[in-house]
Chain A
Amino acid sequence: MTMPLTKNAISVSPLDDADEIFHRRRTPLAVKYRTQIRAFFAAILPPIITCAVILLVWQIICARPNSALPSPARIWTEANDLILHPFFVNGPQDIGLGWRVLTSLQRVAVGFGLASVAGVIVGAFVGQAQWAARGLDPIFQVLRTVPPLAWLPISLAAFGDSRPSAIFVIFITAIWPIIINTSVGVRNIPQDYRNVAAVLRLNALEFFYRIVAPSAAPYIFTGLRIGVGLSWLAIVAAEMLTGGVGIGFFIWDAWNSSRLPDIFVALLYIGLTGFFLDRLIGFIGALVTRGAQPN
């Protein structure tokens, strides 16, 4: 935007200048961001409206005083402290839901972290060696369908303690999709890249981080994403049985002392955390696999 010279020449007071700058800025900003603002509302309005409708219907259905499930309004009046203060500490067993989620996340981090490392290594091996794929694939396909909690008695028997048992359940739940996806990714490495590696005489380690990891990364991250979702499903269920201060045990505890509204709030926390975990792995995956598309 160009300023007329004459205007510049007669503007003497600094106030005039400030006014001029203000006007110069304001118009382009509004124009510049109009499409972004519109896109923002287009993205944010539908979820807000659907949530409002669901809450309203729920409120209407559960509004009777003798209804079995609490209405949103009752949840708010009885449990709003859990929503508003996620990080209070009133004693070793009486802590905010934020802390409980973090405790559970910590277990997931250990179990899922171990599963990622082991899963990618085993998956790479299985994808690389044909006989290993033939021998192990059916086993993986069967074990993958075992529900997480079915592993719990076995791991309690093996570890004797509830904490490592919960972590083991995470590990064993998350590892199958990681192994299976990694091995598919490794099997799908184009022969061209293998030829390049062969001509350059890359050793096993170089082959892994120069060729296997980048080429199979999209598959690996699909596996990790499925794995982290399963981990989160499993930890909540496992904690219900093993106790402790995690979010899963909180639900069990609330059920035993008939605090239904608390359970609803906990569900909200669990859902949001699971969503966040999924997006986090997806985001890291997108960052890492930026260049891995074939060309």
Chain B
Amino acid sequence: MSSFLKIENVDKIFTRGSATTKVLENINLRVEKGQFVSIIGHSGCGKSTLLNIVAGLLTATSGGVILEEREVNEPGPDRAVVFQNHSLLPWLSSYENVRLAVNKVFRKTETRVKRHERTMRMLDLVQMTHAKDKRPGEISGGMKQRVGIARALAMEPKVLLLDEPFGALDALTRAHLQDQVMALQAKLGATVIMITHDVDEAVLLSDRIVMMTNGPRATIGEVLPVPLARPRDRIQLAVDPVYLECRRSVLQFLYERHSYVEAA
């Protein structure tokens, strides 16, 4: 069977001097087009490492990633990343940060005016046009994360990779951005892989939740489908039995079967 994105038998060993750590072992995952997949697991288990391998920023020690029948082994705008700490360039304004991505991807195919319009459309999508000339140092954490999302979406990626995109935000901003990401995904039909620590976030946003075991030698412990209809409403879901059951399975996986081990 051929899937849109395949992660096949991925192992990752980090070597520093003579010390080697096998962080990931035998990771296998298939993601269909338009699917929203969350990866959840305890801190340090190797979630970012796995995402970076899909992004091409790290190479797997063995195994590989196949996107649309092609092996990926270097980073590129077809797999846009929203980084764990936004990673906007502090010397560029919000507009320029997004524009840089637009210019790189659409320089050959679109005129200057079109590229400007596209940049503005992306900023509008995340409601950031009002602060387009502000530098990252002058806007709040939630706003930075939104610009980071706009920059990633601006590349029109085949897969959007989100590394704890809302990790550093307060609960209210987080809920607001989650709704925005859900709306965007419904609108654009994007394929998304998101890392998260947050069980509610995973259940609310995902079609499937990938649960990782503890490291070292972390692997995929279980994949939970979330059979909830879209659009999803967080208030209605709070009493939905399917939602509650999904939430319970994830919690059980994380805290009973694979509870966090100090200095694992």
Q: Which residues of A contact B81 (CB under 8 A)?
A: 195, 199
CA distance A295 to B56 in the complex (A): 26
Cβ contact within 8 Å between A195 and B57:
yes
| Residues in B whose Cβ lies below 8 Å from that of A193 | 87, 89
Question: Binding site of A, secondary structure by majority: helix, strand, loop or mixed?
Answer: helix
Complex Cα distance A7/B148, Å?
61
Cβ of B250 to closest chain A Cβ, rounded Å: 29
A8 to chain B, nearest CB (A): 43
List which A257-295 residues lie within 8 A (CB) of chain B: 291-295
Residue of B nearest to A294 (CB): B90
Which A residue's beta carbon lies closest to that of B104? A200
Q: Is A158 an interface residue (CB 8 A)?
A: no
Residue of A198, A201, A210 touching B89 (CB-CB under 8 A): A210
Given known pairs A202-B104, A291-B135, A295-B136, the reply for A211 and B80 (CB within 8 Å) is: no
- Considering only CB atoms and an 8 Å cut-off, how many residues of chain A contact the other chain? 18
Whether B75 sits at the interface, judged by CB under 8 Å, is yes
Cβ of B47 under 8 Å from chain A: no
Is A214 an interface residue, CB under 8 A from the partner? yes
State whether A295 and B80 are in contact (beta carbons under 8 Å apart), knowing that A193-B89, A202-B104, A210-B89 are contacts in the complex: no
**Residues in chain B near residue A291, CB distance under 8 A:** 90-92, 135, 137
Whether B90 contacts A293 by the Cβ 8 Å rule is yes
Contacts A192-B85, A195-B81: A201 and B76 contacting too (C-beta < 8 A)? yes
Residues of A whose CB lies within 8 Å of any CB of B are 192-193, 195-196, 198-202, 210-211, 214-215, 291-295
**Can you list 16 residue pairs at the A/B interface with Cβ under 8 Å?**
A193-B87, A195-B57, A195-B75, A195-B83, A196-B87, A196-B89, A198-B57, A200-B104, A201-B77, A210-B89, A210-B100, A291-B91, A292-B90, A294-B90, A295-B136, A295-B144
**Complex A-B, nearest 5 residue pairs according to Cβ-Cβ distance, in ascending order:** A291-B91, A295-B137, A192-B87, A214-B91, A198-B75
